[in-house]
Amino acid sequence: MTAYSDFMSIMFEPKYGCPLCGDGLVKYYNTNEKTIITLKGKLVCWERVLKCRNKKCSGNSMSFHSAEFKGLTLSGMSFGIDVLAREGELRFEENKTIDEIVEDLQEGGVHLTGAAVSKHLDKYLALISGYHKEKIEEIRQGLAKQGGYVLAIDGTVSVKTKTLYIFRDNISGTILYASLAGDDTDNVKPLIQYVNDIFGKPLAVVSDMQNAFIESVSEVFPGVPHQFCQYHFLKNVGNAILKEKHQQLGTMIRKKEVKKEIEKIQSEVEVKKKMIN
């Protein structure tokens, strides 16, 4: 598992073309920097939100977000969704007490109070129980006002044998639905069908290249453009080719004690990048 670096800011942006017309995306605006505590470490990050470069496309006035960035945490939280899922797994799958959950997280380098864990468990339960149900009409009105929605599907983290799937509107960032399910088409398709039944057909769909997503979207939303986020594909290829060499390089860097110099250079690069952007 790759640890995030505390000393540098990581920029996220969408890894796909315009979901509506297929043209390229260009910078719309940058978000403020934020710090997220994950099971992998502390992540300092920000997002570059994009829009379609085709001025004749309605996507030219829409905001397209990074699925990876949105999948890191819930709105208003400084802890990653992987922490939330781990807390839920310990409490409801392994029947751990609050104190035991605090101890488990501390062993992994995540420090939380019992009160914070209790609040997170409430969020976890609300998330997987579909807490937006009482706000469905309000969400529908918001989607209609902006001219429709682009469905982003993200299988965030695994909880035992299931995956926590989150369905968002990629334009506004609104969570439409969330559920724990298996990763095959028989499990995923009913979730996508539910989103269709509640919110109607989207303008387009954005997801990774998981077979269950490809098959389910084509069946539930025939004719709707489906863009694939390349991040996960490239990440898996990179791990397969370079993971061992990357680990060896990390060992060499620690032995040669050059980490501070690398941190200094990376910090200088990030400052220059921000000045350019």
Instruction: Tell me the pairing of strands 162-169 and 226-228.
Output: unpaired
pTM of the complete model: 0.68
* pLDDT tops 70 at residue 104: yes
pLDDT tens digits, residue range 221-241? 999 999 987 665 566 555 566
Which residues in 115-169 belong to E strands, given as ranges?
150-159, 162-169
**Mean pLDDT within 67-87:** 90
Q: What number is the average pLDDT over the span 50-58?
A: 96
Which pLDDT score is estimated for 32? Answer: 92
According to DSSP, the residues that pair with 30 across neighbouring strands are 48
Q: Which residue carries 């992540």 as its tokens? A: 43
Structural domains in the chain, sorted by start: 75-276 (3.30.420)
**Residue 135, Cβ density class (10 Å: 0-12 exposed, 13-18 middle, ≥19 buried):** exposed
What pLDDT, in 10s, does the model give residues 183-205? Answer: 899 999 999 999 999 999 999 99
Instruction: Give the pLDDT score at 115.
Output: 94
